Structure 1
Amino acid sequence: MQKTKKLLQTQFFCFMKTTLSTLAIAFTLAAITPAAMAQTKTAPLSNPKYDATLLVRSAFRNLDKNYCTTSNFVSAYYKETITKDNKAISLNEAILDINKASYMNAKNDQVIIKNVRGSNPALGIDPLLVKLQGGPNTALKLDIMKYPFLGCDSDNLTEYYTFEYEAPVNIDNKLFYVVRFDQKYPADDALFRGKMYIEANSFAIGKVEFAMNVERRGDAYLNFIKDKPSHLRIAVKSANYTVGYKEYEGKWYYDYSRSDVKFAASSKKRSINSEYMVSSKMVITDFNCKGYVADKGSIMKSTDILAEKKVAGDDSLIWELYDELMLLALL
């Protein structure tokens, strides 16, 4: 048992550092010179008589029935924003094609950038340069039905999490059970708390809202920061996430995701004392059931930084239309 626990912990740290770097957003900090889900309503539905843990297990066991078993080609709009003391210092957007891998294998999703534009007015001015690594790739890693569930394997949920029912709700004319979860042992490595919405008929997970338990953890920044100057102190204030799915012809598909990570940075050496928010959002804009073989040279890597990609300089109306679509999806 001890060996198994140690292995899981090792996988968790690797998971946070690499494959789920939106949850553990890989920031590069360098010192530089001078479908939407409709509004929820209370549902005329009673919770099951069995334990909430069994319902969650059933949702994962029905993965092959409820989620796509083949790869799919989708288009998406992605947006990332970095603010300092509530003022935007970086804004980058991208129109994407994505080869969404099957939910039944370990293949990663592939992101191809079709167009990109950005504005980084603080570059070379702010004493601290903040960059988000991975961009669209990290947004896709929030798909907890495709990637390991919030720091652990779905077969070992009860070792790390507790589950309790809340009142069922009606979302977009579908009835959902609501299950609240939190990590079982708060003194252990920081995991997550939140709510998952499980569709009452299919037991498909349609939406998950969650947060990393970073509060009052002085070492929480280790999960997020890839590189920083030694004199810089980092305190993570909050890390909130949402992922939503949409049903199409009897199957559920990744539809949108959002992450918001807030941290304070201070350094007496460089007179730095500010609060930063790193936000990223993605929404699927078009869907094709057929898979797509992408040119390897065009695939965005998990180590790439969108802000460093060539800016197209396209100020056409299409960006505003995509932004409106994203606002509707994330209501």
Structure 2
Amino acid sequence: MKNFKSLIFLFMGLLISYTPLNAKIISQNTPQDYVEYKGEVLNSNNEDVIMNAHLSVNESNISTVTNSEGKFSLKVPKGIAPATVNISYLGYQSKNLPLSYFKSKGTIIYLDPVVEELSEVKVYKAGDARKLVYTMLENRGDNYINRPTEMTAFYRESISKGNRNVSLSEAVVKIHKKPYSDYGEEDIELVKARKTADYDRLDTLALKLRGGPFNTLFIDVMKYPDYLFYERSLDNYEFNFEEPTQIDNRYLYVVSFKDRNKEMPWFFGTLFIDAETQSLVRAKLNMNVDNRRAATNMFVNKKPGGTKVYPIEVMYDIDYHQQDGRWYFGYSNAKLLFVVNWKRKLFNSRYQVNSEMAVTNWRPETEDRIKRNENFLSKRVVMADDISGFTDLQFWGSNNIIEPDKSIQNAIEKIQRNIQ
């Protein structure tokens, strides 16, 4: 089948059934050996929030990202040497602030939009957009992490019906990342997890995202390029240069692309490529799902009789970060909007499934061969249900997480009240 690997991209099977999963919780409390700082990142011109801004402690691997309201939570070890924190986001001037600037809550950080006109000679020296993308893929072994790496990451998965959140899963995981020149798939080890759901608002249906954290890991275009570009010649795709931009004082080519073969669900999107190293810095991907039958076969694994279920929007984002001259997977996000049509109901239901993963720390693997245990996840995993996890104040310990959105916080409280 044409573009078969793209069709199973991210193993995004939506499992729809009547039976909730068994409760499960994995928790490890840690001593208070860290300091937590909270705040928000804003646009200096209009004070608009900046979502998915990256905060990293310089000369360390500690990092986090802002949520959809621009808020962040950053945890650093006690006694860390006088440190600075780098704050960056695409299209804004990066900023370095001393750790002493940060407060336990209420820290405000302003980023200035980039206003510099980028030099055409400097930015467009690549000339051919398709050739640039080909070079980007060919150089991945040189530009990205080239040794086995253990990454600590925070994963969140939420399901909302209309404007109401009805299910929320969160987990701290360890990603056993292989070198980018290695074509082998990677492992994910579960460290902590929690989930809660209001099944009444799911119309007695439990929507469960099969794949869990693997959904966001497999968005790593540079590690799994064949999931996106199914022909190494790239002749089946159309590439064009768009207006350039920059991040962290680095010039970026902006290349739009789309698949020329539109028989099946097909990808289109934008690649942000470092002008100096030809490395992918960010990618925004969309899948055209106008072919409803094919899209249903791709995403819907099982459904009750008397229903039609199909996706109407599919979007993916991924960010890479650089340290010591090498780029690494830093953050990814997947958003899917589904329609559920009931045979005997006048109105349909719409569900939005969001999943995101942020790498918060990493280190070289200490063992040549990873020993798998019961905490290693299957690629077909469905995050398990849990009620008590949200009440455990020490649940996450020193792990950096994405600051919860207000809407999600409210949803947690309402879900808990309904369950109790």
Provide the residue aligned with 2:153 in structure 1.
76
Change (3 A) 1:51 1:94: same
Amino acid of the residue matched to residue 138 of structure 1?
Answer: N
Residue 218 of structure 1 and its aligned partner are, at CA, apart by 4.2
- 1:323 alignment partner AA: I
Number of the residue aligned with 1:89: 166
State yes or no: 1:316 paired with 2:393. Answer: yes
Distance 1:317 1:45 in 2: 51
Deviations 1:98-129 (A, max 9, x none): 11112112222211111111211226963322
3-state DSSP of counterpart to 2:131 = helix
Query: Equivalent residue for 2:336?
Result: 261
Partner of 1:172: 248
Alpha-carbon distance between aligned partners in 1 of 2:405 and 2:260, rounded to the nearest angstrom: 34
Check the 8 A contact 2:5/2:226 in 1, yes or no: no
RMSD: 2.7
Closer/same/farther in 2, CA of residues 310 and 248 from structure 1, 3 Å limit: farther
Q: Give the Cα separation in 2 of the matches to 1:108 and 1:207.
A: 21
Indicate yes or no: 2:136 matched with 1:59: yes
Answer yes or no: is 1:20 the counterpart of 2:19.
no
The answer (yes or no) to whether the contact 2:148–2:177 under 8 Å persists in 1 is: yes
* Structure 1 range deviating more: 112-121 or 198-207: 112-121
Structure 1 residues 108 and 198: alpha-carbon distance in aligned structure 2, compared to 1, 3 A threshold: same
Shift of 1:210: 1.0
Whole-angstrom distance in 2 between the partners of 1:200 and 1:81 = 36
Write the distance in 1 (CA, Å) between the matches of 2:18 and 2:405: 33
Q: Do the aligned residues in 2 keep the contact of 1:127 with 1:272 (CA within 8 Å)?
A: no
8 Å Cα contact 2:389/2:395 also seen in 1:
no
Q: Tell me the distance in 1 between the aligned counterparts of 2:268 and 2:202.
A: 37
8 A Cα contact 2:197 2:385, kept in partner: no
Among residues 319, 331, 348, which one is paired with 1:244 in the alignment?
A: 319
Normalising by structure 1, what TM-score?
0.85
Work out whether 1:223 is the aligned partner of 2:269. no
Contact 1:151/1:191 (CA < 8 Å) preserved in 2? no
In the superposition, relative to structure 1, how do residues 139 and 252 fare at CA in structure 2: closer, same or farther (>3 Å)? same
| Residues in 1 aligned to 2:351 and 2:196: alpha-carbon distance in whole angstroms | 17
Confirm or deny: 8 A CA contact 2:333 2:356 kept in the other structure: yes
Code of the residue aligned with 1:263 in structure 2: it is F
With over 3 angstroms needed to count, the CA separation of the structure-2 counterparts of 1:123 and 1:72, relative to structure 1, is farther
Kindly provide the CA deviation profile for residues 251-270 of structure 1, in whole angstroms up to 9, marking residues without a partner as x: 11000000000011011247
The superposition leaves residues 27-52 of structure 1 with CA deviations (integer Å, 9 ceiling, x where unpaired) of: 1012579x625141365132236220
Deviation readout 1:234-255 (Å, 9 max, x if unpaired): 2321001101100111111000
Q: Distance in 2 between matches of 1:228 and 1:14?
A: 23
SS of the equivalent of 1:127 reads coil
Query: Which runs of 5 or more structure 2 residues have no equivalent in the other structure?
Result: 21-52, 55-87, 92-113, 407-420
Q: Distance in 2 between matches of 1:39 and 1:14?
A: 29
Distance 1:276 1:165 in 2: 35
Q: Partner amino acid for 1:20?
A: L
Q: How far apart, CA to CA, are the structure 2 residues paired with 1:205 and 1:89?
A: 35
Give the Cα–Cα distance (whole angstroms) in 2 for the partners of residues 311 and 71 of structure 1. Answer: 35
The answer to whether structure 1 residue 122 and structure 2 residue 113 are counterparts is no
- Whole-angstrom distance in 2 between the partners of 1:29 and 1:63: 38
Q: Partner of 2:379 in structure 1?
A: 302
- State the Cα distance separating 1:219 from its structure 2 match: 3.1
**Structure 1 letter corresponding to 2:230:** D
Q: Could you tell me how far 1:312 is from its partner in structure 2?
A: 4.4
Unpaired segments ≥5 residues, structure 1? 1-5
- SS of residue in 2 equivalent to 1:27: strand
Structure 2 equivalent of residue 152 of structure 1? 229
Matched, 1:279 2:330: no
- Specify whether residues 269 and 307 from structure 1 end up closer, same or farther in structure 2 by C-alpha distance, changes over 3 A only: farther
Residue identity matched to 2:403: E
| CA apart distance, 1:232 | 1.2
Q: Cα gap change, 1:266/1:298 in structure 2, threshold over 3 Å: closer, same or farther?
A: same
Q: In structure 2, give the amino acid aligned to 1:28.
A: L
Bigger CA radius of gyration: 2
Whether 1:112 aligns to 2:199 is no
Is the contact between residue 99 and residue 291 of structure 1 (CA under 8 Å) also seen in structure 2?
no
Residues 291 and 232 of structure 1, relative CA distance in 2, 3 Å threshold: farther
For residues 175-222 of structure 1, what are the alpha-carbon distances to aligned partners after superposition, in whole Å with 9 as ceiling and x for unaligned? 100000011132x21121110000010000010001101136443222
Counterparts in 2 of 1:62 and 1:49: CA distance versus 1, 3 Å = closer
